[in-house]
Amino acid sequence: MSLVFHERVGLNGRRISPFSWRIRYAFAHKGLEPEVIPTRFADVQRVRDLSGQHFTPIIEHDGTVVHETWRIACHLEDHFPSRPSLFDGAAGRGATRFVNIWSDTVLAPALRPQFYADFINVLDPGDRRYFRETRERQLGMTLEEHCVDRDARLPEVAAVLAPLQRTLAEQPFLAGATPAYVDYIVFSVFQWARVGSPRDVLALLDGVAAVRDWRSRMAGLYGGMGDRFALYPTGDEA
């Protein structure tokens, strides 16, 4: 059985993509250890040749190529049914899809102004120009302009986090007593922010203690997966 994980990487092997992070955790949840192919933005031709499109993560499973993060998670669930479930059933999968969409379209945009101008420093140097050009075109402004009022925008972040905080104050994980894919999705957004900046938004807010505690426990899973790779550079790293 062959299993390959094309995982986005940045500066000196840092894991910098929320999409790749949630699949990394999904593999660990399933007890699978794929061959990992670290993939920079500059490796785009290899990605296109393999999958016909440019986004990571991508997996290869016995010759089948799967791209798009949600489809990869579903593939792992459907093809490894005897291994621990990412969803525990149909309603778990359906509800997780809603949380997935909420995470990527509500949570991530709320967090992004808090750290995105720093994030460029965790990219491979050869990827930074591409990243800046494409992201600034999408944002309609520079990365720095996007982040300029990040202190003033903290209340907006608190409001978006409120349902997470309330849920995690009641139950140890979003999936209940033990983590599942729904946790890996939401955690991956916080991990993106955590790797991508020295600024810890959760330390700047009141009333998010349950989210902070959960984030720590999530980083500690699978032998401290969240801390296995370097975080934001300190000092003289290139």
Binding site for a second copy (CB under 8 A): 85-99, 101-102, 105-106, 162-164, 166-167, 170-171, 173-178, 180-182
Query: Shortest Cβ distance from residue 22 to a second copy (Å)?
Result: 14
Closest to a second copy by CB, 48 or 71: 71
Instruction: State the DSSP string of 172-197.
Output: SBTTBSS--HHHHHHHHHHHHHHHT-
Q: Which residues pair with 4 in a beta bridge?
A: 35, 60
Which residue blocks in the chain are alpha helix, DSSP H?
18-29, 44-51, 69-79, 90-102, 108-119, 128-139, 143-147, 154-168, 181-195, 201-204, 209-224
Closest to a second copy by CB, 101 or 141: 101
Helix (H) or strand (E) holding 169: none
Query: Shortest Cβ distance from residue 174 to a second copy (Å)?
Result: 6
Residue 36 corresponds to which tokens in the numbers above? 């990992």
Closest to a second copy by CB, 89 or 155: 89
Query: Shortest Cβ distance from residue 106 to a second copy (Å)?
Result: 6
Query: Shortest Cβ distance from residue 85 to a second copy (Å)?
Result: 7
Closest to a second copy by CB, 86 or 195: 86
